Structure 1
Amino acid sequence: MTLTNIEDTLNQIDDIFYTYLLAALLIAVGIYLTIRTRGVQVRHFGSMLRAIASSRSGAAGGISSFQAFAVGLAARVGIGNIAGVALAVVAGGPGALFWMWVVALIGMATAFTESTLAQVFKERGRDFTFRGGPAYYIKNGLGSKLWGSIFAGMCIVSVGVTVVMVQTNSLAGVINATVPDVAPWMVGVALVLLTGPVVLGGLKSVARVTEVVAPFMALAYVLVTLVVIVMNAGEIPTVLGQIIRGAFGLDQALFGTTGGVIAAILNGVRRGLFSNEAGLGTVPNAAGTATTTHPVRQGLIQSFGVFVDTGLVCTATGLLILLATDTYRPGDEGLVGAVLTQQAVAEHLGQWTTWPIVILIFVLVFSTVLGCYSYSQVNVNFLGGEKRAEQAFGVLLTVAAFAGTVLTLPIVWALTDIALGLMGVLNLVVIVWLFPWVRGALRDWEAQRAVGVEPVFIGHGNPELPGDVLPGVWEPVSDPATPNHFDSGHAAPKNLEG
């Protein structure tokens, strides 16, 4: 079998697996969790905003809730939000954007569930930090270190190496196509100079950088879109009409490259699911590192990340493109990913925007690489890696970031997709299995809110839970040398008005 045949076979497996099997499972689980949590993403949306507003404090020397949110946002918001959305609206028409919104709404319940579990079953790490995620809730919740180790190994290889290579490869291609004078190896060198010092500093260093870079770049991108929307305010009703008509196949002129409502649904669902990452088991690795008072609080914060990713950033890209009437042509296979988005911005604001958009894309990919490091490092620790192993992995990831800019990686792309998909299947099965713990934690949080106190989680002897959680994390401690949730300003529940 030739290399081309192997590549074609992997791409076929990848396409079938993602478009049908995994997409259907992600939607089914998202609907199930939405029902079982009684629409937590809608009922407690206001609580998400309040949690975000107060999430930068109370870390007690560890990683704050906001930093964990920013790491997850950094990994979510990357070149996929620029290139992936562009591909979706070309292949599926404007209606694809509507279905991205639908899966984001459903996915918020999934993100809440997996991130809450990451907190419930996390373990204490070094330097007053915590470690959590699917590997940890598989081990501590299901009692299977073997399957936890399998997940950890898949996450390290796929997210920490191949996803990094694919991201930087796409970045080098976009920059070289836009500014031919910038060779791919130059992009690689710049990434090494930026990434190396940060990742060698460990998780705290990554968290400090991402809490500034990720929200700022996402906000900058959304602000560019707001300028375009204001400039084209009269066209917004028309565009929204195109999105709704395209979503339900009511206008043949709006069909994408494969035509019809099915194309809109499949492209919107697939791009939406893998942009916001809900259910894949990646974001919980960041969620579990946070120092917080209650697992539900971090679950709500990470659920809000899905809204930011799809509801704000992906919508921003979609509207940019759909408003660019000279650039966007549904069904035109010559329109390519991020280049289409760049052309749309240039149509609205002028050619001077080429370099600013290139810089924006570069920083988005840089922040995604840092997010990938955080996800993977948690799993390196799970497998027993200490300081030297962490530093060795930091070097490996930095090398992968450079290699991705100079290598051709078609087979790696397909293998990455398949590995991420297998991680997602394992994670989805586990979070449904462990849902009673999430239901108990949510009831505990809601009960405390109902009586007017700031919820504080006790993981031992809690009647709402199926059992006791791991010792040493979710019970009060009196030793001031061991900062925990309860001796860092949360020694007891306090009145919400106070």
Structure 2
Amino acid sequence: MLDFLNDLLWGKVLIGVLIALGLWFTVGSRFVQFRYFGKMFGILRLSQTKRDKYGHLSSFQALLLSVAGRVGGGNIAGVAVAITLGGPGAIFWMWMVGLMGMATSYLECTLAQAYKKSEPDGTYRGGPAYYITRGMGAKWKWLGALYSVLLLITFGFGFTALQSYSVATSFNDAFGIPPIYTGLSLAMVVGLIIFGGVKRIAQASEVMVPVMAVGYLAIAVVVLGMNLDRIPDVFVLIVKSAFGLEPAIGGGIGAAILMGVKRGLFSNEAGLGSAPNVAAVAYVPHPASQGIVQSFSVFIDTLILCSCTAFIILLSGIYDPATIAGQGGVALTQAALADHVGEWGRVFVSLALFLFGFTTILYNYYLGENSLSFFRGNSQNLFNAYRVASICLCGWGALTDLGTVFAFADVTMGLLALANLFALAMMFKTGMRIMKDYDDQIAEGIETPVFDSRRFADLDLDHKAWDLEPDHKAQIEARKQRKTA
């Protein structure tokens, strides 16, 4: 049954929906991911200079937290699996999913910011469950509740155990460390961080994410430098394989598209609605600015880090379509890097997978907590019970063959994507209305657009969550005076 549902969702339904909606969001937003690509860096620069001034997470911290979740086993093992089963052409379709996913991520994170909810302690909560309930109306509250349940099952439980399993098996292969010790170590460190709440998770991500991303990128640059003359050939191989012009594995162009879309979405999560739960936590002066920044996290994940793994494999001497079919994802990446730099490459991949997996577990925990908050508010007893369950999952996942869990999580992830993509399609006009407000201010020469929630009284926003900082309030008043004059 799980195999049938996975084939239906990922082999037929989601491929069409993701491509169609990704194109719609891209064209409808006038290619927002490209128009504002340079703006991403300016927003991050300003958020770093003002972060935590009022006790909220900054846009930069929210970006790192979402990158912590997007960058995981999919960047190392998932890319290798895509190449093994779909051939080099899968990478091309992964890139396409990433580029279109940037527009999807922009829309979902903009809506998450717009519909965020202020908590009694001054923090924010938000995500698809919130913009479905408030943005689509009370009659759709059941969809928001269903989304929260699926999010808890998929990320809060399933993927937490799966990340632990990936890390433990990788350490066992590279260092001979029994999985039980890796699982216990993960559980203890995760426990120390998650009991500190989202701010401690963000602080840990702020340190670890740049280290792991820059380190992995650096080793990929070394590999590219060692094989400069072969890089054009690899690009040609990827493109030709994507359109069935080269021999591919497991079904030609169909397998390439299937694996590229599936592993691309699994890696960058654009459209799943997971990142918006984190995007809503930050203080930003305008919802669209957070959407722009979060679209950049998709670029980092898919266009940069997934490409690193792809080129490490395809430039290696061990890449042979006739012989790699039996190799596992992590093992293939380890063998490829070892072929380039020596046996220490296996150790490097294991350490990278540990860091990627560890930060993803923290991210998964927060998604589960946000799901519970939708039903019960900030119930500390419930959160503490869930924290204990997450710690136990880290230990259990390291010791258990999770093939069935993985298949089940694939199904729930597919249903999660369908629920969120349906909501995004229904709320596309609202997202474009918010974007137009941002565009208009940019056209007026305003470097940092601000959001006046009172101008959107019909959207059922939480105006308390949009009680802006004094300098941003002053900016709204100054704009009004200019228009009056």
The correspondence for 2:273, drawn from 274, 281, 285, is: 281
Equivalent residues of 2:118, 2:462 under 8 A apart:
no
Equivalent residues of 2:188, 2:391 under 8 A apart:
no
Bigger Cα displacement from structure 2, 168-177 vs 429-438: 168-177
Equivalent residues of 1:93, 1:331 under 8 A apart:
no
Distance in 1, Cα, partners of 2:226 & 2:343: 17
What does residue 133 of structure 1 align with?
Answer: 127
- Counterparts of residues 112-261 of structure 1 (less than 5 Å): 112-144=106-138, 145-179=141-175, 181-252=176-247, 255-256=248-249, 258-261=250-253
Per-residue displacement from partner, 1:196-221 (whole Å, max 9, x unpaired)?
A: 01001111111111122123211111
Distance in 2, Cα, partners of 1:339 & 1:18: 25
- Counterparts of residues 52-67 of structure 1 (less than 5 Å): 52-56=44-48, 57-59=50-52, 60-67=54-61
What does residue 321 of structure 1 align with?
Answer: 313
Bigger Cα displacement from structure 2, 388-397 vs 296-305: 388-397
Q: CA deviation at 1:340?
A: 0.5
What does residue 80 of structure 1 align with?
Answer: 74
Report whether the alignment pairs 1:71 with 2:65: yes
The correspondence for 1:404, drawn from 397, 403, 407, is: 397
Distance in 1, Cα, partners of 2:115 & 2:472: 22
Bigger Cα displacement from structure 2, 50-59 vs 401-410: 50-59
What does residue 3 of structure 1 align with?
Answer: none
Distance in 2, Cα, partners of 1:201 & 1:124: 20
Amino acid at match of 1:193: M
Q: CA deviation at 1:126?
A: 4.4
Q: CA deviation at 1:234?
A: 1.2
Distance in 1, Cα, partners of 2:470 & 2:193: 30
Q: CA deviation at 1:310?
A: 0.4
Per-residue displacement from partner, 1:104-131 (whole Å, max 9, x unpaired)?
A: 1111111000000000100012433211
Equivalent residues of 2:10, 2:258 under 8 A apart:
no
Q: CA deviation at 1:63?
A: 1.2
What does residue 456 of structure 1 align with?
Answer: 450
Report whether the alignment pairs 1:96 with 2:79: no
The correspondence for 1:487, drawn from 470, 476, 485, is: 470
Distance in 1, Cα, partners of 2:384 & 2:470: 31
Per-residue displacement from partner, 1:288-346 (whole Å, max 9, x unpaired)?
A: 11111000000011111110000000000000000002344356321210111011111
Distance in 1, Cα, partners of 2:429 & 2:318: 52
Distance in 1, Cα, partners of 2:17 & 2:331: 32
Bigger Cα displacement from structure 2, 302-311 vs 414-423: 414-423
What does residue 480 of structure 1 align with?
Answer: none
Equivalent residues of 1:345, 1:353 under 8 A apart:
yes
SS at match of 2:30: coil
Per-residue displacement from partner, 1:419-443 (whole Å, max 9, x unpaired)?
A: 1111111111111111122111111
Equivalent residues of 1:178, 1:339 under 8 A apart:
no
RMSD over aligned CA atoms reads 1.8
Distance in 1, Cα, partners of 2:231 & 2:126: 43
Q: CA deviation at 1:470?
A: 2.2
Equivalent residues of 1:328, 1:344 under 8 A apart:
no
Distance in 2, Cα, partners of 1:195 & 1:488: 38
Distance in 2, Cα, partners of 1:328 & 1:200: 46
Distance in 2, Cα, partners of 1:65 & 1:194: 26
Total equivalences in the alignment: 472
Distance in 2, Cα, partners of 1:302 & 1:312: 15
SS at match of 1:492: helix
Q: CA deviation at 1:417?
A: 1.2
Amino acid at match of 2:44: I
Equivalent residues of 1:296, 1:445 under 8 A apart:
yes
Distance 1:80 1:122, change over 3 A: same
Q: Please, which runs of 5 or more residues in structure 2 have no aligned partner? A: 480-485
Distance in 1, Cα, partners of 2:254 & 2:195: 46
Distance in 1, Cα, partners of 2:317 & 2:25: 39
Amino acid at match of 1:157: I
What does residue 349 of structure 1 align with?
Answer: 341
What does residue 270 of structure 1 align with?
Answer: 262
Q: If the length of structure 1 is used for normalisation, what is the TM-score?
A: 0.91
Moved segments of 4+, more than 4 Å: none
Distance 1:123 1:330, change over 3 A: farther
Q: CA deviation at 1:75?
A: 0.9
What does residue 10 of structure 1 align with?
Answer: 2
- Counterparts of residues 288-299 of structure 1 (less than 5 Å): 288-299=280-291
Q: Please, which runs of 5 or more residues in structure 1 have no aligned partner? A: 1-8, 475-483
Distance 1:147 1:245, change over 3 A: closer
Equivalent residues of 2:115, 2:126 under 8 A apart:
yes
Distance in 2, Cα, partners of 1:162 & 1:239: 35
The correspondence for 1:390, drawn from 383, 395, 406, is: 383
Equivalent residues of 1:92, 1:267 under 8 A apart:
yes
What does residue 482 of structure 2 align with?
Answer: none
Distance in 1, Cα, partners of 2:206 & 2:298: 17
Amino acid at match of 2:96: V
Q: CA deviation at 1:42?
A: 1.2
Distance in 2, Cα, partners of 1:36 & 1:459: 23
Equivalent residues of 1:461, 1:467 under 8 A apart:
no
Report whether the alignment pairs 1:339 with 2:322: no
Q: CA deviation at 1:259?
A: 3.8
Structure (1/2) with the larger helix percentage: 2
Distance in 2, Cα, partners of 1:372 & 1:126: 24
Distance 1:448 1:91, change over 3 A: same
Per-residue displacement from partner, 1:17-46 (whole Å, max 9, x unpaired)?
A: 112212221221111111211111111111
Amino acid at match of 1:485: L
Distance 1:188 1:490, change over 3 A: farther
Distance in 1, Cα, partners of 2:73 & 2:234: 24
Equivalent residues of 1:449, 1:455 under 8 A apart:
yes
Equivalent residues of 1:200, 1:395 under 8 A apart:
no
